[in-house]
Copies of this chain bind each other. A is one copy, B any other.
Amino acid sequence: MIIKSVMPCTGELRDNEFLLPVRVYYEDTDAGGIVYYANYLKFAERARTEFIRSLGVRQQDELEEENKFGFAVKHCEIDYKMPAVLDDELVVTVQVTGLKGASATMHQEIRRGEDVLAEIDITVVYLSLKQKRPVRIPKELAAKIEQLM
C-alpha cells in the first residue's frame, strides 16, 4: 500500500473510499510522545471536508450565504488501536455507511502503511446554522453521497 507518495494533498477516491494523506507535526503530539487523542478527530474532519469538497461543495460558501448551512457531528465513536508519532505519514479514510434525511453515517480509519491506528464511526447532521436545527441534505448533494455507498 505505497499509495501515499502519489496521493494529492486534497486526497482522492478509490473504490468508494476517500483517502487523505496527513502528516503528523509537533502541534499534533503531546508530552507522552504520541498524537494527542483529540487530534485524531481533527485529522478525521480534514478528510471529511476534502471528501465533501471532492463532491463539489465548498463549506466557506455555505457559511457566507445568508442562510448558513454546514455538517455538524452528532455522534462519534473512536477506537484507538496503536499510537501515531511525530513525522508519521498517515492516510485518513472516509466511507459513507448510511444516509437518511438530514444525517449521514461514515466509517473512518487512520492508517499508517498497513496498520490501522484508529477507527472512527461518526454521525453527521446537516444543519441550518441560523435556525440551529437539522435540515434535509440538499438533493443534489445527497445523490452524490449516495453514489458512493
Contact = CB atoms under 8 A, between A and B. Distances in A.
A106 interface: no
Contacts of A39: 38
A3 B79 CA distance: 34
Contacts of A80: 72-76
B49 A25 contact: yes
A77 B74 contact: no
A42 interface: yes
Interface string A15-48: 0000001010111011111101111011001100
Interface stretch (A81-89, A109-117, A136-144): A81-89
A49 B9 CA distance: 17
A58 B79 contact: no
B73 A86 contact: no
Interface of A: 8-10, 21, 23, 25-27, 29-34, 36-39, 41-42, 45-46, 49-50, 53, 58-60, 63, 70, 72-80, 83, 85-88, 129, 132
